[in-house]
Amino acid sequence: MIEVASTRTGTGEKGERARVRRGEDDPVFRQFPMVRTRNIGILAHIDAGKTTTTERILYYTGKTYKVGEVDEGTAVMDWMPQERERGITITSAATSCLWKDHWINIIDTPGHVDFTVEVERSLRVLDGAVAIFEAVAGVQPQTEAVWRQANRYGVPRVCFVNKMDRVGADFFRTVRMVRERLGANAVPIQVPWGSEDSFCGVVDLIEMRALRWPEEGLGETFEVLPVPPELLPLAREWRGRLFEALAEVDDHLLAMFVEGEEPAPEELRRALRQATLKMQVFPVLAGASLKNKGVQPLLDAIVAYLPSPLDMPSVRGMNPGNGKTEERSPEDSEPLTALAFKVMSDPYVGRLTYLRIYSGTLAAGRAVLNASRSKKERVSRVLRMHADYREDVEAAFSGDIVAVVGLKQTFTGDTLTDPSYPIILEPPSFPEPVISVAIEPKSAADQDKLSDALRKLAEEDPTFKVRVDDETGQTVISGMGELHLEVLVDRLMRDFGVEARVGRPQVAYRETVRRAVRGVEGKYIRQTGGRGQYGHVVLDVEPAAAGTGLAFESRIAGGVIPKEFIPAIEAGVREAMETGVLAGYPVVDLKVTLTDGSYHEVDSSDIAFKIAGSVALKEAVKRADPILLEPVMEVEVVTPDEYMGEVLQDLTGRRGRIESIDVAAGGGREIRALVPLAEMFGYATDLRSRTQGRASYVMRFHSYQEAPPAVTEEILARSRPADR
């Protein structure tokens, strides 16, 4: 039995005394009250310095709270070997550290857009974020993509302008870009002290003092000095702007502003915290992580301005018992509600599931309900992850982020709850994979090992899919981009010891319909002696919004078809949608309404109705003007001016539609275009040779769009005739 007691302390710190008792003399206390917990992510363009900054954070926090040995020489966040080689962070590891009596969980997010799913799932579970910008390049295309995702999830952010030591660094230009390009109210709370070679620290505009780091050593200590006279006018100007920005959103500061009173630091901090939480203001700091400058004030800002779990609204979800919406507030005394946001197979402990706990407590050894799948599970261990080592804890509490061992049937996006109080939280949304390759083991003996490994990888990553082609018997894997698949194939060898050969990447086309059809019948009736089969349905099928997949509704009234057969009909529809009528690609974005049908007392069965549903759907799609959809990518190219014509011409030749041409921050032009994925294979090499390697590009999935007739014809000619 677990007993939870939660009381407020005199200071109003909720959850300070929360206690989980496992047996009479075995109390477990929560280490930190929620108000002193931060769950944050670090969002950045690849190469902006996320890894370096995270390492410094872990180093400085490790200095104040020696929980274990942090290896100073290596990137402790990126523990997968291929991440180090490629220099990108792929997995979303959660790392815990302690800063000035605050517990900070850092949820790692990747900078590469092929891995947007990792960003999405991190954004779903974190409360606030640090956005890192590069002082030379400013706002880069990928930062923009991630920034927009963070807006969608309502994540408050502080901004860190990194690499202030580099030639061409410009703090104020970067701030301007954040304001203009991202439309965010970015407000400096520091101004840099020096720039490029001379960058040595910052002026703290709230306290009006200067901080200077030594050139030597790892920057653990720094000097706190009066603002140097030459910086005073600049600092006064920007403190004035900070005050003004806060006066716009805070009545108390507005009154002081009107009266001409100078606000005290704590006044500014209070208003800044409120404004940051509401995303009215994004505080901006400056630093150079590699040079060990400016990271401690960033930690202070995380603690001072980013939300604690208590600042977050109660989570909402659906009670699977009655379909009603329910809420859970962030309290230890509430029933357990947790979201699984990452599943990893770990070489040491096996299956590791990362959880965000929204309410209640979770003790090791406890039985929980996977409400999303109605499965009972047992949590055998609760682990706190410190990047390169783990710490067993007896329990985790509301607002926490931990990894657990023992869950066998829980997947990314599932909700775990107290068995008596089930609720299903909305899972994070994942894009559909757009690119596929056939894969086979190098030696036939490895076939089983390969299937097993692929299944495990697909469990970890909802944007990675595996299927066996019915016609060819080939195993086909699909993902979000060439790099995504490359990394997964790499992991097959490293983590699972399976060497595999892959084919040429193929575009993952889809099919859908253009018009609505009504009253399409599907029957499966066999009545020749003995017990027969009887299924009969009538469907309406119409186009649905992009991203819908299938919206199925039953309008059966008066028991024309008994309720128990309806799930079988939906299953039949779903199955039929896996293979389209045009070229056998999956059919998406349909609204299907079951309007009528009939049944037979004896002969009707699930299987008969399933087949009837499937027959009706195929027929309806054929009549509803089916079309082929192709994935279209958003491509952003930054190129020196002299190659612009060439780059544009090439993009147009690839059926690209140019959306905009801007002046790039670091010089040159930035071209944005929408280009079908089918035309983008080999682009990296082409672009390099056309521009002497001086242009760069990023590409991310934009949408599925109708393929032009010529393309459709070619694909239909290539593909097998679908089972019509």
CB of 129 vs ligand GDP, minimal distance in Å:
14
SS3 call for 567: helix
CB of 137 vs ligand GDP, minimal distance in Å:
11
Q: Give me the torsion for CA of 653, 659, 661, 667, rounded to 10°.
A: -90
How far is the C-alpha of 606 from the C-alpha of 608, rounded, in Å? 6
Of 27, 34, 31, 28, the closest CA to residue 8 belongs to: 34
Question: Is the Cβ of residue 44 or residue 205 nearer to ligand GDP in the bound state?
Answer: 44
List of residues 6+ apart from 719 with CB closer than 8 A: 583, 584
CB of 171 vs ligand GDP, minimal distance in Å:
13
Alpha helices in 46-190 (DSSP H): 50-64, 81-86, 116-125, 141-152, 171-181
Question: Is the Cβ of residue 197 or residue 244 nearer to ligand GDP in the bound state?
Answer: 197
List of residues 6+ apart from 653 with CB closer than 8 A: none
CB of 50 vs ligand GDP, minimal distance in Å:
3
CB of 35 vs ligand GDP, minimal distance in Å:
30
CB distance 370 to 377 below 8 Å? yes
**Tally of residues, the chain:** 724
CB distance 513 to 539 below 8 Å? no
CB of 13 vs ligand GDP, minimal distance in Å:
35
CB of 500 vs ligand GDP, minimal distance in Å:
28
Exposed, middle or buried by CB within 10 Å (0-12, 13-18, 19+), for 563? exposed
How far is the C-alpha of 18 from the C-alpha of 191, rounded, in Å? 41
Question: Is the Cβ of residue 110 or residue 505 nearer to ligand GDP in the bound state?
Answer: 110
How far is the C-alpha of 535 from the C-alpha of 557, rounded, in Å? 17
* CA dist list (Å): 133 to 160, 162, 262, 694: 6, 6, 31, 22
**Half-sphere exposure (CA, 13 Å, Cβ side) for 242?**
31
CB distance 560 to 597 below 8 Å? yes
Question: Is the Cβ of residue 95 or residue 289 nearer to ligand GDP in the bound state?
Answer: 289
Question: Is the Cβ of residue 48 or residue 435 nearer to ligand GDP in the bound state?
Answer: 48
Inter-helix orientation angle 265-277/232-247, to 10°: 50
How far is the C-alpha of 534 from the C-alpha of 605, rounded, in Å? 7
How far is the C-alpha of 585 from the C-alpha of 422, rounded, in Å? 37
CB of 192 vs ligand GDP, minimal distance in Å:
12
Of 362, 350, 453, the closest CA to residue 405 belongs to: 350
How far is the C-alpha of 118 from the C-alpha of 50, rounded, in Å? 15
Question: Is the Cβ of residue 289 or residue 308 nearer to ligand GDP in the bound state?
Answer: 289
CB of 165 vs ligand GDP, minimal distance in Å:
5
Alpha helices in 596-643 (DSSP H): 606-623
CB of 80 vs ligand GDP, minimal distance in Å:
14
CB distance 575 to 568 below 8 Å? no
SS3 call for 309: helix
CB of 504 vs ligand GDP, minimal distance in Å:
29
Positive or negative torsion for Cα 339, 341, 345, 346 = negative
Question: Is the Cβ of residue 296 or residue 359 nearer to ligand GDP in the bound state?
Answer: 296
Question: Is the Cβ of residue 124 or residue 166 nearer to ligand GDP in the bound state?
Answer: 166
CA-angle at 641, arms to 638 and 647, nearest 5°: 60
Residues in contact with ligand GDP by CB under 6 A are 44, 46-52, 87, 111, 162-163, 165-166, 288-291
CB of 578 vs ligand GDP, minimal distance in Å:
38
CB of 159 vs ligand GDP, minimal distance in Å:
14
Question: Is the Cβ of residue 149 or residue 506 nearer to ligand GDP in the bound state?
Answer: 149
How far is the C-alpha of 502 from the C-alpha of 500, rounded, in Å? 7
Question: Is the Cβ of residue 160 or residue 524 nearer to ligand GDP in the bound state?
Answer: 160
Question: Is the Cβ of residue 55 or residue 418 nearer to ligand GDP in the bound state?
Answer: 55
CB of 161 vs ligand GDP, minimal distance in Å:
10
The DSSP bridge pattern shows strands 2-5 and 325-328 to be unpaired
How far is the C-alpha of 34 from the C-alpha of 37, rounded, in Å? 5
Question: Is the Cβ of residue 272 or residue 286 nearer to ligand GDP in the bound state?
Answer: 286
SS3 call for 199: coil
Question: Is the Cβ of residue 133 or residue 305 nearer to ligand GDP in the bound state?
Answer: 133
Question: Is the Cβ of residue 165 or residue 630 nearer to ligand GDP in the bound state?
Answer: 165
Question: Is the Cβ of residue 608 or residue 665 nearer to ligand GDP in the bound state?
Answer: 665
CB of 65 vs ligand GDP, minimal distance in Å:
23
Positive or negative torsion for Cα 203, 278, 430, 326 = positive
Question: Is the Cβ of residue 112 or residue 269 nearer to ligand GDP in the bound state?
Answer: 112
How far is the C-alpha of 421 from the C-alpha of 333, rounded, in Å? 13
CB of 37 vs ligand GDP, minimal distance in Å:
25
Tracing tokens 């084919």 back to the chain, one arrives at 503
CB distance 432 to 506 below 8 Å? no
